Amino acid sequence: EFHPNIIVLENKSLLNLFTRVRDQTTPPAAFEFYAKRLMTILAEETIADLPLATSKTTVFTPCAEFKGEEVDVDKICAVSIVRAGDSLLGCVRALLPGVSVGKILIQRDETVPEKPAKLFYCKLPKGIEDKQVILCDPMLATGGSAAKAIESLIAVGVPVSSIIFSNVVCCPEGLKYLGGLYPEVKIVTASIDEGLNEEKYIVPGLGDYGDRFFNTV
C-alpha cells in the first residue's frame, strides 16, 4: 500500500535477529554479528530477484538432471550509500565474489528542519549502465538519500528498471516518497516500521545504523 513495487521478507529467523539489533543495550560487537546475519538473508533475497542477471541452466546431480538458475556476477553492480550502506555492501560482496562496486556519499543537511540530502561524492564503474544495480542502504527514512542516489545512477545511463534498492528497515514516509518519484525501482526490505519521529528517525527503528555497526556511537 506504500509502494507499488516492494518485497517484504517473510522469514521466521528475522524476529530474533531484529530483537537483537533493535535492543539499545546490545553491545557493538554483538550488533555487528546479528546485523550481518540479518543482512546476509536480505542480500540473498535481493540477489534472487535479479531477472536481467539470472538465466536458466541444467546441472547433473549424482543421480539425475536438475533444472535450475544461475546468477552472472558480470551483469551486476553493487552500489553503497556511504557509510551505513557499506555494511550491507559487504554482505552482497561476500555472496557475489568479484562483483563490481560503486560508492555514493550523501549526507543530510542537519542545519535545516527538512534535512535535505546533499550529494558529496559519486564513483561508479564503467559499463554500469548495462548492469543490474543493487543499491545498498540499511535505512530508508525520508527517502531523500535514496532518491538522490537513484538520480545519480540515472544520470550515468542506468535504466530505472535496472535498479533494485535493498534495505533493512524502512517506513511509510520514505516508501511513499520514493514510490512517487521512481515507482519502477524495486525495493527489497526486511521490515516496514511505523513511521518517523520529529527528528526524522525511524520508529521503532534501531537508532543510527552506521554508528552502531561501525562502533562510533
User: Domain locations in the chain?
Assistant: 6-203
139 bridge partner residues: 169
Query: Grid coordinates representing 70?
Result: 544461475
Q: Is the pLDDT of residue 114 over 80?
A: no
Domain at 6-203, CATH from 3.90.1300.10, 3.40.50.2020, 3.30.365.10, 3.40.710.10: 3.40.50.2020
**pTM, 2 dp:** 0.94
Peptide bond into 204 cis (omega under 30): yes
Nearest to 47 by CA among 25, 15, 63, 69: 69
Give tens-digit pLDDT for 124-137: 999 999 999 999 99
d(CA 170, CA 151): 19
Q: What is the mean pLDDT of residues 57-68?
A: 98
* Confidence (pLDDT) at 88: 98
Q: Is the pLDDT of residue 105 over 80?
A: yes
Chain CA centroid to CA 61, Å: 34
Query: Grid coordinates representing 172?
Result: 511509510
d(CA 92, CA 164): 13
* Confidence (pLDDT) at 183: 96
- What is the H or E stretch that residue 165 is in? strand 163-170
- Please report which confidence band the pLDDT of residue 153 belongs to, taking 50, 70 and 90 as the band edges: very high
Q: What are the two backbone dihedrals, phi and then psi, of residue 12, each rounded to the nearest 5 degrees? A: -60, -30
Q: What is the mean pLDDT of residues 94-120?
A: 89
* Confidence (pLDDT) at 16: 97
